[in-house]
């Protein structure tokens, strides 16, 4: 019998959620995602430190200094990891915009253009890149404009249907609902353990997937941030699932039948009402959802902090 990972790949595109190239080679995902935390962690590992060191040396000759030099080095590091990843995976890599721009629509657009520009200067087609942006109203609006320019986006830090609907109506390429972080919030809030179809994180992705297929949206749904393989298997059939190396290993080493849980035909017959969204409604619905409000803000803070740590690491190397 095929292992669970092989079976899952029959229903769902498997994406590696890591900055570890060796893990990608081992589990052979279609795509890969990164974020500031993963890049920071990888940059501090001996086998990947040369990518950071090369970016620093290359940018020293640009004439930039201070914050501008540090920012340019970070951009080059992100692209260096992205290029290496695209040598391994046949599909796309997600590269994240600085989380400190999460409420800056203009700044997000400018940074996304810069990142795509660097990729293209390095001979990478923009069709292989997804620009990751937080699912704030400003982030979604920025991503919608970028999509019109042919820059595909991955809206991350997503925790509720309102965020997902706004993305779909904005023509976003892909969204990343965070299963594990939703689960964490409800477990802490209620003191209960959740598993299987009762997991609130699983239910959130099921709701979004059903809504998209019911109303004919083309935006791809990629479940993310998993805590265990049970959450992953409950979402077999989702467009994509991005999975960390530890859970990829568990799936690869486990036998047992994997059943498809999500499919377009079932979604089309679901009884669900269309959500009418404008900015005011979006902000109100997000505010009404304590979990989504808290986890979005917490995620932005965490990613912003890791960008700050990356800056400090670079500044120390610059002396």
Residues tagged active-site = 132
* Element (DSSP H or E) covering residue 132: strand 129-134
Alpha-carbon distance 93 to 223, whole Å? 16
Cβ neighbours of residue 33 closer than 8 Å, sequence gap 6 or more: 15, 16, 17, 93, 94, 130, 132, 154, 176, 224, 242
Alpha-carbon distance 272 to 105, whole Å? 31
* Element (DSSP H or E) covering residue 291: helix 290-318
Minimal CA–CA distance to 220: which of 154, 158, 161? 154
Alpha helices by DSSP H, listed for 28-127, are 36-43, 49-60, 66-86, 105-121
Rg of the chain over Cα atoms, rounded to whole angstroms, equals 19
Alpha-carbon distance 245 to 25, whole Å? 11
The single residue listed with the structure tokens 């610059």 is 318
Alpha-carbon distance 275 to 167, whole Å? 12
Q: How many CA atoms lie within 13 A of 8 on its CB side?
A: 33
User: Torsion angle of alpha carbons 88, 93, 96, 97, nearest 10°?
Assistant: 120
Q: What is the DSSP letter of 134?
A: E
Token pair belonging to 46: 């001996």
3-state secondary structure of 16: strand
User: Torsion angle of alpha carbons 64, 45, 154, 131, nearest 10°?
Assistant: 20
């Amino acid at each position: 019998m095929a292992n669970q990972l092989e079976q899952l790949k029959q229903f769902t595109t498997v994406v590696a959620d890591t900055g570890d190239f060796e893990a990608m080679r081992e589990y052979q995902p279609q795509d890969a995602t990164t974020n500031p935390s993963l890049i920071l962690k990888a940059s501090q590992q001996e086998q990947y430190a040369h990518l950071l060191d090369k970016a620093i040396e290359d940018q020293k000759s640009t004439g930039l200094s201070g914050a501008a030099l540090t920012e340019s080095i970070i951009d080059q590091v992100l692209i260096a990891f992205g290029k290496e990843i695209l040598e391994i995976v046949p599909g796309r890599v997600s590269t994240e915009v600085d989380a400190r721009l999460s409420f800056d629509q203009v700044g997000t657009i400018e940074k996304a253009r810069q990142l795509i520009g660097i990729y293209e200067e390095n001979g990478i087609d923009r069709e292989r890149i997804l620009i990751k942006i937080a699912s704030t109203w400003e982030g979604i609006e920025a991503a919608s404009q970028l999509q019109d320019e042919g820059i595909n986006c991955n809206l991350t830090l997503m925790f509720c249907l309102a965020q997902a609907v706004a993305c779909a109506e904005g023509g976003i390429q892909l969204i990343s609902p965070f299963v594990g972080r939703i689960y964490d919030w409800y477990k802490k809030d209620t003191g209960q353990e959740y598993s299987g179809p009762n997991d609130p994180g699983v239910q959130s992705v099921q709701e979004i997937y059903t809504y998209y297929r019911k109303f004919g949206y083309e935006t791809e749904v990629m479940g993310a941030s998993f805590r265990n393989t049970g959450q992953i298997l409950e979402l077999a059939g989702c467009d994509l699932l991005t999975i960390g190396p530890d859970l990829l290993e568990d799936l690869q080493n486990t036998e047992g039948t994997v059943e498809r849980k999500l499919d377009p035909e079932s979604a089309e017959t679901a009884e669900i009402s269309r959500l009418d969204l404008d900015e005011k409604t979006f902000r109100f619905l997000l505010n009404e959802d304590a979990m989504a409000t808290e986890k979005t803000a917490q995620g932005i803070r965490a990613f912003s902090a890791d960008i700050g740590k990356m800056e400090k690491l670079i500044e120390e190397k610059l002396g």
